Structure 1
Amino acid sequence: MRNFAANVPWTIGNSDGVTTATISTSVPSRLDRLPWSRWHWTVVIGLGTVWILDGLEVTVVGNIAGRLSEQGSGLPITGAQVTGVAAALYVSGACAGALFFGRLTDRFGRKRLFMVTLAVYLGATALTSLSYSSWWFFAFRFITGFGIGGEYAAINSAVDELIPARYRGRVDLIINGSFWLGAIAGSLLAIFLLDTRLFPKDVGWRLTFGLGVVLGLVILLVRRHVPESPRWLFIHGRADEAETLVDAIERRIEEEKGTPLEPAAGTITIRQRKSTGFRDIARTVFTDYRRRAVLGLALFIGQAFLYNAITFGFGEILTKFFGVSTSRTGYFFAVIAVGNFLGPLFLGKLFDTAGRRVMISSTFLLSGALLFVTAWLFDAGLLTAFTLTACWCVVLFFASAGASSAYLTVSEVFPTETRAMAIAFFYAVGTAAGGISGPLLFAELTSSGVVGDAVLAFQIGATLMCLAGVVAAFLAVPAEGRALEDIATPLSVHTEPLPARALVDWPAPPTPPTPPAPPVERPGRPGCPME
């Protein structure tokens, strides 16, 4: 474990946030040296399983569109309104919720917000099941998206700050990939609950939302036992609470393992602050860490376009080109979802061992290249519905790991004070790109019934995915096994400024053997590490 106090000559400077005391703490190194335990499983289950609910609901809504438009469904709405207006409002709500709750998460804490966002999500989902007017349905879909957008910001920041550094990559990937477990369940659940031999037309679709609420309440009960992030606490003037919390976690793990923990090595000295100004956040993300911002944008936009190229029109392609019945497309989607989940599950560990740069760039480039191959085979008429689905599974096996690594990247490469807001911004950009590109571009290409149009859709998604992979090959941060404070120095910590020439983004000169090592610098902002 890196010893912050020994390796970096910390001094304190001013900030735009409200500051309190100056403290030294070993909380980060104590959290990162913990062995995997039942306590970590509580964190994963309490925070990560909400993505299963998200996948469940998103898939169910797509599958019930036809039922809602039928006479006797209890809701005067058309299928186009469900997949068009309601879907657009859900995406808009997710973008707005991410930005709104992301700012509050950085200011008021991870736990307070991840309890609020889940409550918003569950309340809106329950109200959706009771909708008897299309306008109420639209409103509740927006609020549901508002809650899930906030979840992405609050949950990803909390998970990164609670999970030991050596496990962070695989845990993040599997948590984000668990969305597809929900998608599998949603595809199969819709087949069962929409069977009019079992449930009336105006009941089955309501039960799909109601079941999501029940599962969410179970998650809410587990989440009550997940603590606030100690990293957030000690920065925001609550160092004693952070120390007490980590003491309790250590005692619990020692009791479970039956042996004392190894001593933690390394402390960090900061000036506490109660909040961080929005100007500080914007300057940090887009000026001090501008290369990482470019990386985040490339990854999120690339994966959004690839996924829309495949998933937005997969049903239309299967029905128009291969004559698959619309009642059977759910089975094909379930198979695709399995491929999506297996990618992060089997490749996740490599992000902690082989390294971030190698794995992020390779998953993006490989999935893009495989989609080009799929487009060529489709254009040549060499595929059937089953072999095309198999090709999609292989593409998305790698693409899902790459897409999950986009969330991992933006959640770990920015300072603690900006983490939730950075996640929110890049999530909103990626979600908006997907939400806009899907209806405006890919829907028309994949539903036209023209082979060349579908091939073009595949090629657009593959091209942007490959471009993002190239960006990652040059800009991805080698964050594997490193403490978050080592990857991005907290804004509360400052070092003595270097000469102006040292602020240019060039490789640092070798350290002379005799004098002490110079302060580590971050480009564009005195006192922060080189990217």
Structure 2
Amino acid sequence: MAVPESSLPVDDRKSTVGINIPGRMERLPLTGYQNKLFAVIATAWLADQVDVALLTFLLGSIIETFHLNTIQVGFLASMTYLGQLIGNVIFGTMSDLWGRQKTFQITMIIWGIASLLAATSWNVWALMVFRVLIGAGVGGEAPVAQAMVSEFVPASVRGKYIAWMEGMWAVGFVCSGAISFFLLKYANWRWVFVCVGLLALVVLIVRRHLPESPHWLYDRGRFKEAEQVMTAIEQEVEKRYGRPLPEPQQVETDVHQKVLPVTVLFQRFYIKRTFMAFGLWFFALMGFFGLTSWVAVLLNQAGMSIVKSVGFVTLITVGGIPGFLAAAALLEKIGRKATTAIFLVMSAVLAYVYGHATANITTLFLAGFGMNFFTFGMWCCLYAYTPELFPTRARSSGAGFASAFGRIGAITGPIVVGYIVNAVGHAGVFSLGAISFVIAALLVLILGPETKGEVLEKISV
């Protein structure tokens, strides 16, 4: 609920004078300072995604260790996404209530410890529990990272920067495959979890240098702290800019009472956006994880060795890197809505082509490379678009709940695939992915607003 400044206590009214957080943030030229903040967030995101992707490359070895059937494999693959669902909801809401910085740190501690614990798994049930914990840490970070990047960079490059951050998912996926490929030659899958878990300690130390979001501090009524952090950011930027900062434009903002953020999502102004975002994430992630959780296993079952199938999947995943770069450019050039729809539709086309490709290794590689180009570009679109749909007071919650619906899709996808493989074979897996991507594209085209280049406060109420 918005509170006019005239109704605030006298001291609070005085403290808001001249703060103008949105205007002051928007006028800041991009310098090494903002890029440093972005690098800290993006590097942490990369490390998290390395851990999430591990199961794609280790599943073949884990199946051999615990003698799993296809149904058990489907449930194991889904545990990470169950954890992400829990993390999305809990830490997304926590970020809006308690702050971005503190929540960001907590998520890193959780997934780092859980990754080390996963290496000790004595049976598949223990591994499932630890994958839930890994998912909770990584899933909790997602909405916080989206909100932080959205609130630290100006509208003119906001979509591109969030897309670059999400592009670390493609880089992390490739790194995860490379680590698995080389370590599995000399050690078992447990050591891969240990190696990745140790990354958490390094990234946790780096993360300590992130400031709290001035947008969040102001919106929570902590005006003095908002002014202090904003002034410190301006001083750092001006030092690197080498000349006085341009004058800010005045952007009118409201101060909001401390309402439960989730209630904002279902207010009249946001309900259509909320429905679109929830459905978009559900179908996009059901398609994506239904495919990726199984692709190395399917190749292994088709006759490739575990190491060769891991290497092949790692190579075709490289297609995701130019994919996220293309998505980042198009998000700023033609807009969020059109770019998201294009990448979803092309993900559907290439998923279908890959699933029905011949056994010729060249054909499989080209189709798989193209599929990853568009599916990883699609991820960038989701992360750039979603936080712009919701106001500061509910930005992490909106992104978190949308992502949580995505995790429901991600949980559903691998389980459904386990039954599809038994019933109709491998091609049906990719048809499921294609149908899911098409539905997600239709939701964006029919219900999605365009948010390109708008100041965050101007696309919310």
TM-score > 0.5 by shorter chain: yes
CA contact 1:310–1:392 (8 Å) conserved in 2 = no
1:148 maps to: 138
Shift of 1:13: 9.5
Residue pairs, 1:44-59, within 5 angstroms: 44-59=38-53
CA contact 1:169–1:480 (8 Å) conserved in 2 = yes
CA contact 1:305–1:437 (8 Å) conserved in 2 = yes
Q: 2:247 aligned to 263, 279, 282, which one?
A: 263
Larger RCO (CA under 8 A, 6+ residues apart): 2
Matched, 1:459 2:459: no
CA distance in structure 2 between the aligned counterparts of 1:59 and 1:225, rounded to whole angstroms = 27
Shift of 1:108: 0.6
1:106 maps to: 96
Q: Residue 268 of structure 1: SS of its match in structure 2?
A: coil
CA distance in structure 2 between the aligned counterparts of 1:318 and 1:137, rounded to whole angstroms = 23
2:22 maps to: 28
CA distance in structure 2 between the aligned counterparts of 1:82 and 1:248, rounded to whole angstroms = 52
1:511 maps to: none
CA contact 1:159–1:172 (8 Å) conserved in 2 = yes
CA distance in structure 2 between the aligned counterparts of 1:117 and 1:107, rounded to whole angstroms = 15
CA contact 1:312–1:443 (8 Å) conserved in 2 = no
1:522 maps to: none
CA distance in structure 2 between the aligned counterparts of 1:309 and 1:139, rounded to whole angstroms = 20
Q: 2:238 aligned to 254, 260, 283, which one?
A: 254
Q: 2:273 aligned to 292, 303, 306, which one?
A: 292
* Distance 1:359-1:134 versus aligned 2 partners, 3 A rule: closer
* Distance 1:143-1:317 versus aligned 2 partners, 3 A rule: closer
Residue pairs, 1:44-443, within 5 angstroms: 44-68=38-62, 77-80=66-69, 83-132=73-122, 135-196=125-186, 199=187, 204-273=188-257, 275-277=258-260, 280-284=263-267, 287-321=268-302, 323-374=303-354, 378=357, 381=358, 384-440=360-416, 442-443=417-418
TM-score, normalised by the number of residues in structure 2 = 0.89
CA distance in structure 1 between the aligned counterparts of 2:332 and 2:383, rounded to whole angstroms = 15
Q: Residue 266 of structure 2: SS of its match in structure 1?
A: helix
TM-score, normalised by the number of residues in structure 1 = 0.78
CA contact 1:45–1:219 (8 Å) conserved in 2 = no
* Distance 1:428-1:256 versus aligned 2 partners, 3 A rule: same
* Distance 1:443-1:386 versus aligned 2 partners, 3 A rule: farther
User: For structure 1, which runs of at least 5 residues remain unmatched after alignment?
Assistant: 1-9, 72-76, 490-531
CA distance in structure 1 between the aligned counterparts of 2:304 and 2:320, rounded to whole angstroms = 22
CA distance in structure 2 between the aligned counterparts of 1:366 and 1:328, rounded to whole angstroms = 27
Which stretch of structure 1 is more off in the superposition, 355-364 or 231-240? 355-364
Shift of 1:151: 0.8
**Greater percentage in helix:** 2
Shift of 1:241: 1.5
CA distance in structure 2 between the aligned counterparts of 1:293 and 1:148, rounded to whole angstroms = 22
Which stretch of structure 1 is more off in the superposition, 302-311 or 33-42? 302-311
User: For structure 2, which runs of at least 5 residues remain unmatched after alignment?
Assistant: none
CA distance in structure 2 between the aligned counterparts of 1:458 and 1:147, rounded to whole angstroms = 29
Residue pairs, 1:451-530, within 5 angstroms: 453-489=425-461
Matched, 1:445 2:436: no
Q: Residue 255 of structure 2: SS of its match in structure 1?
A: strand
CA contact 1:62–1:83 (8 Å) conserved in 2 = no
Shift of 1:70: 5.6
Matched AA of 2:232: A
CA contact 1:299–1:403 (8 Å) conserved in 2 = no
Shift of 1:246: 1.6
Shift of 1:278: 5.2
CA contact 2:164–2:324 (8 Å) conserved in 1 = yes
* Distance 1:183-1:279 versus aligned 2 partners, 3 A rule: closer
CA contact 1:97–1:145 (8 Å) conserved in 2 = yes
CA contact 1:317–1:446 (8 Å) conserved in 2 = no
Q: C-alpha deviations, 1:224-252, integer Å up to 9, x for none?
A: 11111100001112112112212111221
Shift of 1:374: 4.5
CA distance in structure 1 between the aligned counterparts of 2:253 and 2:176, rounded to whole angstroms = 48
* Distance 1:296-1:269 versus aligned 2 partners, 3 A rule: closer
